Structure 1
């Protein structure tokens, strides 16, 4: 009877222990995963830029004088040769009249001496002296006339008038520090920006062409995002890279040009250049399928035993903030978790629920649009 009781008690304890173990074993939870594949996309690299016209010419006085008239206004469009300013020339006009009179007197003297020399009444020396005096008088007169002409200041190019810091009555000279204004030819706008060596290599190595110049020529057209966040209506073209990197910053200076027929863009403005890079057959994943841990980007992958494995990846952001291009860390058909990221720990056994990769990409794209 005692042996039977002990057997029953042992059986009860064994069943109880079995139930206890069942309670502590966590259930295998289902999580959605996608098997990554390769596709095509376009990356946009962005660089802050400053805007300048084809030419920005400081307008300065060549002669001394007071500003008598201002014929233009700030922001006005002007043509080459158009009158901008006129300096006071009253004194110069008086000097010109006196110089002109001296020219006339010197000419009379020459005319008087010529027949006397021809009749050998006087020597040639007197006539040559008179001719020299005439030439000197003409030179003085022409110099004063040029001074008067310089007092009428004209635009050297077609362009837009800048600020007008000086007003009527201001005294100016060729030594005045501040220019009268600046004329900017903005029919084409140059956007100047810089990039580091790695960025320069990434762009040029992905460009089509054998030589460096051929790669620049065949680079895709670039966008300009204006300071108000709007994209400029015309695309631009990268024209030049600096011949060598700046030894202080390690950066390359780059220039892109944009047509500006409507004169919307002005010198001194700012914006952001977007350079597209077309990538073919690359792995693209949703950004929300990744974790950032310290200085690493992590993706959770379901291995062949359906256990979660944390995989570090190197990525580049796709425009729109929804996707990453994976440069290193994943290979085609790897199954990555797209839910439970940040919750599921490494080594956890899961039940993968495969979701179509194209469906995820399309739904993300619709969310962006």
Structure 2
């Protein structure tokens, strides 16, 4: 039997391997590609609360400047600077000695006037009897009557002087006109103050509740009024608009406020109107003069389509697009017109209809035309929260 060379043996082995592989490919059945599963939300028009963010500064609810109302030397300061004081609490004591002397003199004048009045009344009563019997002249009777009226006037004037002296004596004890937080004292013990010039002693501010004065552009106010007239925005009735607050460090104030005053005059220098909101401040976290940003509710916009922000992408032309699942379970791309981004959702002005299904996850890996399996997504709020968690942190 002839021998086979090693080269021929290798070629034969290779051919056998190729034949076996070809037979295996014929016997192997093709495996269908897996159908991708996507989460979808059904488009529906809804109502959307409308709010606007405005800059502002805090202001005390009540502000009182404590001033001297009589002249004198400050003998004592009876409060701690920066502490809370109650209405009617004594704050300063001005030397009362001169005013006590004035009161004593006025009371003595009143007693003298009352004594003269008693004498004049008695004389007038006697003359009433005597003038009837012509024992005294008519002129004497008239003089007695005039003296009695003058004595009564002197008593009234003396009483007024006593009252004035008591008031001035009371002003020597300076009390708090309102309850609130006191500021730094402007005078010290031994200082001379004047009632005529109303020397400033200190200032008291009530900071619970607290006002927040906001500035709104007249253009924004005009746009809101037009939307209300057109029926695009429905006002929320007679209830005061709710206001939320962000502090200087970016944190949210834990308590909400109410809109108290909406200005009706545009400031020609700034082109804005002033809004005033009222906030509870039991912890005294807000202090007068702080810069804040407030979100003010302005009504409800009817018939709004909202789409979660992760569901919207941009094409090379910069247009907003979304992926829709058609009735045949195939993906199609749709160009839309978006409005404002509110709470992680885009408002859609044009491009979507009720009942259409929007893909809300994994859009970057999908292409139009492929068949997908659609499953209902979570509620819009849950989707927004999930998007916030997966969004990169700045």
* Residues 234, 300 of structure 2: 8 Å contact kept: no
CA distance in 2, matches of 1:126, 1:301: 103
Unaligned runs of 5+ in 1: 1-31, 341-348
1:317-360 Cα distance to aligned partner (Å, 9 max, x none) = 324xx55334x4644569999549xxxxxxxx988797989489
CA distance in 2, matches of 1:195, 1:157: 31
Residue 20 (structure 2) aligns with: none
Residue 57 (structure 2) aligns with: 50
Distance of aligned partners of 1:353 and 1:191 in 2 relative to their CA distance in 1, 3 Å threshold? farther
Helix, strand or coil at the partner of 1:146: helix
CA distance in 2, matches of 1:364, 1:103: 82
Aligned match for 1:80, one of 82, 87, 91: 87
Structure 1 residue 242 and structure 2 residue 270: aligned? no
CA distance in 2, matches of 1:239, 1:142: 42
* Residues 106, 158 of structure 2: 8 Å contact kept: yes
Helix, strand or coil at the partner of 2:305: strand
CA distance in 2, matches of 1:80, 1:35: 60
Aligned match for 1:91, one of 84, 90, 98: 98
Aligned match for 1:69, one of 76, 84, 107: 76
CA distance in 2, matches of 1:60, 1:292: 69
Residue 201 (structure 2) aligns with: 180
1:148-190 Cα distance to aligned partner (Å, 9 max, x none) = 1122223333333344333323333345476333333444322
Tell me how far 1:193 sits from its aligned partner.
0.8
CA distance in 2, matches of 1:218, 1:115: 70
Helix, strand or coil at the partner of 1:80: coil
Structure 1 residue 316 and structure 2 residue 323: aligned? no
CA distance in 1, matches of 2:123, 2:182: 60
Give the RMSD, CA atoms, in angstroms: 4.7
* Residues 287, 324 of structure 1: 8 Å contact kept: no
1:45-95 Cα distance to aligned partner (Å, 9 max, x none) = 321222234332322222233333323234433333332333222222222
Helix, strand or coil at the partner of 1:200: helix
Tell me how far 1:116 sits from its aligned partner.
4.6
Give the TM-score, by structure 1 length. 0.65
Structure 1 residue 325 and structure 2 residue 347: aligned? yes
CA distance in 2, matches of 1:130, 1:220: 65
Helix, strand or coil at the partner of 2:114: helix
* Residues 297, 314 of structure 1: 8 Å contact kept: no
Residue 34 (structure 2) aligns with: none
Aligned match for 2:165, one of 131, 134, 144: 144
1:290-338 Cα distance to aligned partner (Å, 9 max, x none) = 6699xx96436799xx9999x795532324xx55334x46445699995
Unaligned runs of 5+ in 2: 1-37, 128-135, 325-330, 390-394
Residue 28 (structure 1) aligns with: none
Question: Which structure would you say has the larger Rg?
Answer: 2
Helix, strand or coil at the partner of 2:255: coil
CA distance in 2, matches of 1:302, 1:111: 106
Residue 388 (structure 2) aligns with: 368
